[in-house]
Amino acid sequence: MKKILFGFVAIAFALLLPGRYRAQTQGTPAVTPHLPRGTATDVSSAEIQALVQKTASERISDQAIRVVSVNGEYNVGVGVVHRAKTSGAQAGGGIEHSQITEIYHVIEGNATLVTGGSMDNLAEFPADHPVVTVLNGPSTRGGPIQNGVSRKIGPGDVVIIPPNTPHWFSEITSDQIVYLVVRVDPHKVLPAGYAAK
């Protein structure tokens, strides 16, 4: 009797499961709704190198290459940054972005990157400044970071910097550091459709 009752309970439970779970338990893959298809965007190594060469004489250069809309849901910016050798007082101060996540991928050079902690002498970038309008959306700069996490980075390393996270290169030990930066923009503050000239 217990076996029969257990069998009825198991059958009733299986029939009450939503269709996609029932299908999975029967060995058939679940059907998912059709998702919108996007268009891939290419950024070639030649474009990256051309921007690095174009701004090679500058001590610091942060150039947006593209800003694309991803299915109208969020924007992604791709850029390249190079910074000349610095240490101590030459290194300047930190910066943080209130709405953008930055992902750094080091192409060449070595440096010490500090993240987190706090900055003194805070000042917001003006709304019409290129840091705000093209690169990072609303941002704040300040003095050197105190009580942050320091790490040495070099070619191939990747660092993900969330919004509202101060960051600063306290020292660049090679002649320069060059890194690709991907900027994830869920609030769509960057200009979708932007392309470097």
Mean pLDDT by 10 residues, the chain (197 residues): 42 44 51 70 90 86 93 94 78 91 97 96 95 94 94 98 96 94 96 90
Determine contact, residues 123/141, Cβ cutoff 8 Å: yes
Specify the CATH architecture of the domain 45-185. Sandwich (2.60)
Which whole-number Å values give the CA distances from 41 to 14, 67, 73, in the listed order? 45, 10, 16
Domain residue ranges of the chain, discontinuous segments joined by +: 1-32, 45-185
CA–CA–CA angle 189, 190, 193 (5° rounding): 135
CA distance 106 to 173: 14
Tokens 């269709």 found at: 19
- Whether the full predicted model's pTM is greater than 0.75, yes or no, is yes
Tokens 């060995």 found at: 27
- Is the torsion defined by CA of 110, 112, 116, 121 positive or negative? negative
